[in-house]
Amino acid sequence: MRIFGIDPGSERTGYGCVETDGRRYRLVTCGAITAAPADAFPQRLARIYRELAAQLSACRPDCVAIENLFHAVNARSALLLGHARGVAMLAAVEANCTVVEYTPAEVKRAVVGYGRADKNQVQQMIKLLLGLDEAPSPHDAADALAVAICHLHSMPTYAAVAARPPAGRRRPAAAGLKSWRQYRPPANG
């Protein structure tokens, strides 16, 4: 299954595509669409749309996950972000993809385990989850990958497959652990 994540922004929009077999993640692509500072806002939106449409066509994802708007103090910034989200959603819908939305807190909770994690923590967890040598950069690309992984963690089929032990191997019954939270390291000495 392939999930394409989008972290919308009016100045820089992050994107990332993750593929999974239900057990492991594999990075397909990631990056950020950056508009020239001299470009007028409509040209920025057109560039976001064109580049996302090209990436979606190349990746052919099963679903697009996009970060939802959050409460913003600055109304102008929220409106600009809303326009960027709109063209991102349009590109996804025109690529015949289902679109799902997650708040920033939901994404951080699903990937880092803490809804108020900072950008560096998200980047480091994405590096670990995808088995990368370096954390994805810029942070917008890591955020987009985090949105995609959040969707994978939210899917009921993913949870069922991930909970199943690999074929031919069983979890030790003697351990009696149902969660990693129950694990206690052996005492030294």
pTM: 0.81
The domain locations on the chain are 2-182
* pLDDT at position 163 over 60: no
DSSP helix/strand/coil, 168? coil
- pLDDT score, position 36: 86
CA atoms within 13 A on the CB side of 21: 4
- pLDDT score, position 178: 55
Check 51, 67, 106, 143 and give the catalytic one.
67
Measured N-to-C along each axis, helices 119-130 and 104-111 cross at an angle, to the nearest 10 degrees, of 50
Q: Is 133 a catalytic residue?
A: no
Please indicate whether residue 112 or residue 172 has the higher confidence score (pLDDT). 112
* pLDDT at position 171 over 50: no
Q: Is 140 a catalytic residue?
A: yes
DSSP secondary-structure letter at 55? H
Neighbours of 140 (CB within 10 A): 25
DSSP secondary-structure letter at 101? E
Please return the burial class of 132, using the count of CB atoms within 10 Å of its CB with bins 0-12, 13-18 and 19+. middle
Q: In whole angstroms, how far apart are CA 110 and each of 68, 118, 164? A: 15, 14, 19
- Amino acid at residue number 2: R
User: Is-contact 96 129, C-beta < 8 A?
Assistant: no
Please name the CATH architecture into which domain 2-182 falls. Answer: 2-Layer Sandwich (3.30)
Check 7, 51, 106, 143 and give the catalytic one.
7
Q: Is 67 a catalytic residue?
A: yes
The pLDDT tens digits of the residues spanning 64-117 come to 999 997 666 788 888 888 999 999 999 999 999 999 999 999 999 999 998 889
The pLDDT tens digits of the residues spanning 32-47 come to 999 888 999 999 999 9
Check 51, 106, 140, 143 and give the catalytic one.
140
